Amino acid sequence: MRDAFRIAVPASSANLGPGFDAIGVALDLWVRATVQPALHFAIAFKAGKYVPTNVGFENEIVRGLDRVLLGERPNVSILIENDIPLGKGLGASAAGAVLGIAIGAELAAERPLPDALARHATELEGHPDNALPALLGGIVVAAQVDGAPPSYLRFDPPAGLSAVAVTPHIVLPTAAARALLPAHYERSDAVYNIQRAALLAAALASGQTHVLRVASGDRIHQPYRAPLVPGFEEMLGFQMPGLLAIALSGAGPSVLALVEGNGPAIGDAIRAAFAREGIESDAFELDISSRGATVSALS
């Protein structure tokens, strides 16, 4: 194999309200791997706050690796250091799959083309909104195409835009959150979301962030998930300096605020809303990362 190396992959937040399975942003919160030659294949996790308590996260990494290397496990040791809260709607499973894909790409006899990497990531994740920001960084608007690589646009975030992610100490599995969604929607709700998803994408691409409050409205998933995230309905009504938009991060239970300054106060307000419901939480003030999966030499 090549010399030892490191790979870092960012967290991500998907949907941002109406952009269901279509819009996501990379966040400056990372999972990192150190890959070195070894006598046999092994994965280990460095001690830390977000070490997995089951094999799910490790399985995502291995799925990504196997996808690129066609199941051939290389003789390497992979040491993982993870700063992404697990199972909280911050794209940890996508980051794990992309980490495995990126490791596989570095170890492959012939490096896969970018379209192949994007297709691997979206097919493993099932949709592109977390997978592509983790792979590419920045903001991604995407559509999955059956039997082909996803069609997407990736762009850097508007100047001055950042995020506050607040993670409550409750469990809301993604599968359970998806099971809450209805099989059919009223036409008026579909139109409502189409309008706002289009406006959201245009606002983020153009930097016209003053419309984000309207553009983040949603009737497709948040109304059905909100009862399982106590305090979220109150948060939707927040009006504070610097607060541009507030939404569930992915399927939740984390809440994401898009902000232009005043991040500490906005994070405190969201944490206070959770506290009024008897729920502890952690706040992260985060840049939107322009970097996706990044490889560096092991010095």
CATH of the domain at 191: 3.30.70.890
- In this structure, are 104 and 17 located in the same domain? yes
User: Is there a single domain that holds both residue 54 and residue 177?
Assistant: no
Total count of domains within the chain = 2
* 252 and 273 co-located in one domain: yes
Are residues 122 and 211 located together in one domain of the fold? no
- Please tell me the predicted confidence (pLDDT) of residue 298: 85
Q: Give residue 172's pLDDT.
A: 82
Distance between CA atoms of residues 107 and 124, nearest Å: 19
- Are residues 215 and 278 located together in one domain of the fold? yes
Is there a single domain that holds both residue 167 and residue 149? no
Convert the pLDDT of each residue in 119-146 to its tens digit: 999 999 999 999 999 999 999 999 998 8
In this structure, the answer to whether residues 67 and 137 fall within a common structural domain is yes
Q: What is the largest CA-CA distance in the chain?
A: 60
Phi and psi angles of residue 102, each rounded to the nearest 5 degrees, phi first = -65, -40
Closest CA to 79 of 20, 32, 38, 144: 32
pLDDT at 262: 98
Between the two ends of the chain, the Cα-to-Cα distance in Å is: 17
Q: Are residues 117 and 212 in the same domain?
A: no
Check whether residue 192 and residue 175 sit in a common domain: yes
Question: Which pLDDT does position 58 carry in this prediction?
Answer: 96
> What is 15-72 written as a DSSP string?
ETTTEEEEEEEEEEEEEEEEEEE-SS-EEEE--STT--SSSHHHHHHHHHHHHHHTT-
For position 173, what pLDDT does the model report?
A: 78
* pLDDT of 132: 98
Rg of the chain taking only CA atoms, in angstroms: 19
82 is written with which tokens?
A: 């993870």
Per-residue pLDDT tens digits for 63-116: 999 999 999 999 999 999 999 999 999 999 999 999 999 999 999 999 999 999
Which stretches of the chain score pLDDT less than 50?
none
| Helices within 56-112 (DSSP H only) | 56-69, 92-107
Question: 136 and 79, same structural domain?
Answer: yes
Structural domain span for residue 179: 162-287
Q: Which CATH number do you get for residue 68?
A: 3.30.230.10
9 lies in the same domain as 151: yes
Domain match, 40 and 146 both: yes
